Amino acid sequence: MKIAAIGGGVIGGGWIARFILNGHDVAIYDPHPEARRIVGEVMANAARARDKLFQAPLPEPGRLIWAGSIAEAVAGADYIQESVPERLDLKHRILAEIEAAAPARAIIGSSTSGFKPSELRQGAAHPDRILVAHPFNPVYLLPVVEVVGGGEAADRASALLAQVGMKPVTIAREIDAHIGDRLLEAVWREALWLVRDGIATTQEIDDIIRYGFGLRWAQMGLFETYRIAGGEAGMKHFLAQFGPALKWPWTRLMDVPDLDDALIDRIASQSDAQSGAHSIRELERIRDDNLVGIFHALKANDWGAGRTLREAENRLYKRQLAAPSTYPLMLHQARVGGSWVDYNGHMTEFRYLQVFGDATDAFLVHMGLDETWIARGFSAYTVETHIRHLAEIKAGEKLRVETRLLGHDAKRFRLHHRILRENDEEAATGEHMLVFVNTAEARSAPMPDQLVHRLDDIARLETGPIPEHAGAGIRTLRAREPAA
């Protein structure tokens, strides 16, 4: 699809990066004199983060097309993302220009953090297609997007955004600042008062969040966190125990401190002392690396944003099913983290099996044995494995896995993986026999014709020869005879 982006700042640049890195062409209009530099820097950080985030091969990036006008950018566009500054008069003017040149069915999403759809639609020729599509920074990593406006356009927008790895949350009733920013605003007001009253510094407040409840919020949100706090009696007990405290005079929530020069200087100086050793781009990369680590931890538990990542990766694996670009298959990649190395400074033994196991999981999705089959009570279990360790692998290295299908029958299939380093050196091989299983009955079963036919299609790509070591075990080594 063709995407148009009007505005390329922090949020607009993040949108552009997400769409382009998911294979879509993006036409952008932004008259800011530094727009090309800013978008280029955001794109570089986004590509770096997504390379670390995904283990599935990514599609070829789409093209970034700089347009000389709004009309040129939106011509022929299927989806248009507006990310101009938060001034309603400016947004009305920009939206009018978009409508004058965009195709009739093009969806227009606004990144506005505060305005309601009814406000954006004032004077519009086709108001129903103008929506709020409010993301969170960095847009290229954080999946949630608040979709406000309803109707067929909201349904189409949500489907499109899900395809680029986002988690659309449809808000049925419009409200100023939507949901996310209203929650953030409450915390922000309290934090400003705490600094204003000399209770805490910016760093102390950030430490309490990032070392405390922020870690819980990152993977469970607010209500589920408090449900656990209620113990075995659950949410009802929590509300009964802590609800009365809401009437105590703890909060300054409905009062806003005067952001005079003194308070602004205090906050700015504390923030400089806290973070000024790093440039903004360095802070973005540190943030992105931390987010990638959290995503991977959540993915291992198939939870929250990690499930969104897994679903996005599975779409990438399936994408290659229709027309694999190369054979042997290249379905999986990995980055060696610091926790993966042993006392020798090399990737430890069980991580080799993890990489091969993840590559096998990727092949299962590629052959069509995905979550729909799992839900129906079928899967494939590994019954035999042989790994050869051929080269040292160190922390930080990026690995690719080459996969071949060496054979299959009605119940079994035999895979061969090679771990390749960035210079194409072979670092390890893994050979694995898998059997199709009826999980409800805990026994092997014949594969459905649909899966057998997909294996047949992959097998036709295999021209051999089979590696000499395939099918072999550990070489015989006899015990030494004791000395006379």
Average pLDDT, the chain: 92
Model pTM score: 0.82
Tell which wins on pLDDT, 399 or 480: 399
Residue 294 lies in a domain: no
Phi-psi category of residue 464: left, alpha or beta, with phi > 0 → left and psi -120 to 50 → alpha: left
Q: Is 48 found in the same domain as 137? A: yes
Specify whether 12 is located in the same domain as 140.
yes
Q: Report the Cα–Cα distance between both ends of the chain, in Å, rounded.
A: 80
Q: What is the pLDDT of residue 324?
A: 55
Residues 269 and 145 in one domain: no
**Is it the case that residue 246 has pLDDT exceeding 80?**
no
Residue with tokens 């969170």: 136
Q: Which pLDDT value is given to residue 474?
A: 82
Residue 256 — very low, low, confident or very high, per pLDDT cuts 50/70/90? Answer: confident
Give the rounded percent of residues in the chain with a pLDDT score beyond 70. Answer: 97
Residues 416 and 447 placed together within one structural domain of the fold: yes
Give the domain-ending residue among 131, 162, 178.
178
> Do residues 173 and 203 both lie within one domain?
no
Say if residue 57 is in the same domain as residue 163.
yes
Q: What is the pLDDT of residue 284?
A: 92
What pLDDT, in 10s, does the model give residues 186-207?
999 999 999 999 999 999 999 9
pLDDT at 478 over 80: no
> Is 154 inside a domain boundary?
yes
- pLDDT higher at 78 or 326: 78
Provide the residue range defining the domain that includes 13.
Answer: 2-178
Alpha-carbon distance of 278 to 283, in angstroms, equals 6
Q: Which residues contact 292 (CB under 8 A, 6 or more apart)?
A: 49, 52, 53, 141
pLDDT tens readout for residues 306-331: 999 999 988 888 776 655 568 899 99
Beta-bridge partner residues of 400 = 333, 420
Look at residue 174 in the predicted model and tell me its pLDDT.
Answer: 95
197 within domain boundaries: yes
Is residue 156 located within the same domain as residue 172? Answer: yes
What pLDDT, in 10s, does the model give residues 349-376? Answer: 999 999 999 999 999 999 999 889 999 9
Do both 357 and 454 map to the same domain?
A: yes
Verify that 167 and 202 share a domain, yes or no.
no
